[in-house]
Copies of this chain bind each other. A is one copy, B any other.
Amino acid sequence: MYRSHNCGELRISDAGSVVTISGWVQKSRDLGGLTFVDVRDRYGVTQLVFNIDENPELTTRARKLGREFVVQATGKVRERSSKNPNRATGDIEIDVDQLIVLNESKVPPFTIEDDTDGGDDLRMKFRYLDIRRTPVQNNLIFRSKLALETRKYLDGQGFVEIETPFLIKSTPEGARDFVVPSRLNQGQFYALPQSPQTFKQILMVAGMDKYFQIVKCFRDEDLRADRQPEFTQIDCEMSFVHIEDILNTFEGLVRHLFRHTLNMELGDFPRMSYDEALRLYGSDKPDLRFGMQFVELNETVKGKGFSVFDDAELVVGICAKGIAESYSNKDLKDLTEWLQRPQIGAKGLVYVKYQEDGSVKSTIGKFYTDEELLALGQKFGAEKGDVIFILSGELEKTRKQLNELRLEMGRRLGLMKPGEYAPLWVLDFPLLEWDEDSGRFHAMHHPFTSPKKADISRMMDGDHETMKSLRADAYDMVINGAEIGGGSIRIHDRALQSRNFDLLGFTKEEAEAQFGFLLGAFEYGAPPHGGLAFGFDRLCAVMNGQSSIRDFIAFPKNNQGRDMMIDAPSPIHDEQLKELCLQIKIDKM
């Protein structure tokens, strides 16, 4: 027996018991005749004590223990003279009379503490040491708990977890597939699923009624920060449902998760149309922890001789409370330059300061009277001490820029409070997006999304312009400005699905080759159905108020798609290539 107790569970009530613990040496200290060794495992830290006078041989051995040695210690629990109130086991220590070194350790390349001195690359290469740190362990434990609670809730709602295959078929639309050469079918390839979309729809046609799966998905994209080539979804689908059934079910899921992992009751899930979200926040995933809604000013500010506004498609502003005195001209200049960086690309920033003394100060004072500027302020509910920021230009760009500014002001003013969660549903997305570059429509959600019922007949026989106005039965769940899930009511009618493939530029042959099985399934009694998928990595991060999903993945890949610890990907043997009928041909550039 390696242990009678773990390193986190001994209490003052255990005093007098003889116990055995095992774990890693966190640190040790020699104080006169006493040697203290902190031993750590997943559950906590327990202090061992050795007395040189009472047991010189044992204490000498204890003094030689290095950091991260694995030890097993047996001894009597006793009350500490100097207690540590910050540690659950801080009232006791173990007076050791048997010590076994189970394994030694080299000196780790970074400290195993909550705040480590290890850089990202080093932490990833020695991920087994990084994970020993409590914050990382806690993230993984949280993730496990979140998955279990997801399953408990969905099971309670009658969902069946069904594993869909990983070796499927490549569909070159959308993101790039990872492919897997088949040895038994020479020259052919499987693809790893970007999502189990078609399979979950097939399961609805198969009468499974309510399906879910917590499942790995794969996308071979050029990796941006915080994208992973493999990621995890909570993937769900239901039959015989309207939008309302789905929103209720998954609002329920998220409430359950917050309740059972964070012990927190979520407030309302407001609903907002896509158009409204863009109009009020310039984003389809607004952070509602704070207001600072957009106010559109075209009708107010145009025609006063300020050509920048007069020529703009959109003039729109936000009001930052209480910064009129604290934001100097220098601060405002810096903010303007921040907005002018290529990542955001604003031309300039107009501000109106409503100063504490009642005066108004603005970059556009030349064009507008103080009265006009005060009236402008009223549109925002601006008070003394507030500053209004105004951007103008093309509608889409300007909204995006002002969204960035709003979020930045939210950060600066401390309005994105950690521990506060503002969920919402965004609804009524456009069905199709016209892409000028490729001269074709793209599915805003995906090719299986149903138009709203009222739009079906317009979709079946409308003209090109009509297609741009179609609305989808699609929805996103957003929390604190992050899209954590999204889905739609699906098409379940072969003719409508075929029409959608036509609009998306598939030839009949392509549609048949790639999705023939689904179109076929629709001819054998497909029920009305819909569903959604949550980004599980993202959900973990958002619930913990963190921005990086990487901290919630045990073995993430870096931005080049490499696993630094195992050093993958890597070359394979010629024999393997030959069996797969493959040759490598790298074009020199």
Contacts and interface: CB of A to CB of B under 8 A. Distances in A.
Contacts of A573: 172
Nearest to A562: B185
Interface stretch (A199-207, A321-329, A335-343, A399-407): A199-207
A36 to B, nearest CB: 19
Q: Which size class do A's interface residues fall under?
A: 35 or more
A523 B165 contact: no
B583 A190 contact: no
Contact of A584 (B184, B230, B563, B582): B582
A409 interface: no
B586 A187 contact: yes
B184 A103 contact: no
Contacts of A571: 187-189
A261 B40 CA distance: 38
Oligomeric state, in copies: 2
Contacts of A413: none
A497 interface: no
Contact of A167 (B528, B567, B569): B569
A452 interface: no
Nearest to A140: B162
Interface in A210-244: 216, 218, 220, 222-223, 229-230, 232, 240-242
A271 B526 CA distance: 51
A15 interface: no
A353 interface: no
A495 to B, nearest CB: 11
B24 A103 contact: no
Contacts of A567: 169, 516-517
A562 B553 CA distance: 32
A223 B189 contact: no
Contacts of A68: 524-525
Contact of A554 (B162, B517, B565): B162
Contacts of A581: 584-587
Contact of A569 (B22, B127, B140, B190): B190
A143 B455 CA distance: 40
Interface stretch (A52-60, A174-182, A441-449): A174-182
A218 B560 CA distance: 24
A102 B527 contact: yes
Contacts of A206: 127-132
Contacts of A524: 68, 105-106, 108, 126, 128-129
Contact of A165 (B131, B186, B555): B555
A2 B565 contact: no
A425 interface: no
B41 A209 contact: yes
B220 A183 contact: yes
Contacts of A186: 586
A263 interface: no
A76 B106 CA distance: 77
A433 interface: no
A15 B42 CA distance: 57
A232 B191 CA distance: 18
B563 A165 contact: yes
B144 A527 contact: no
A561 interface: yes
A132 B202 contact: no
Interface stretch (A147-155, A301-309, A381-389, A470-478): A147-155
A460 interface: no
14 contacts: A103-B493, A104-B525, A144-B155, A148-B151, A148-B152, A165-B230, A166-B166, A167-B569, A176-B183, A184-B223, A185-B560, A189-B570, A189-B571, A517-B565
Given A1-B242, A184-B222, A517-B567, 4 more contacts: A129-B206, A129-B524, A169-B563, A186-B586
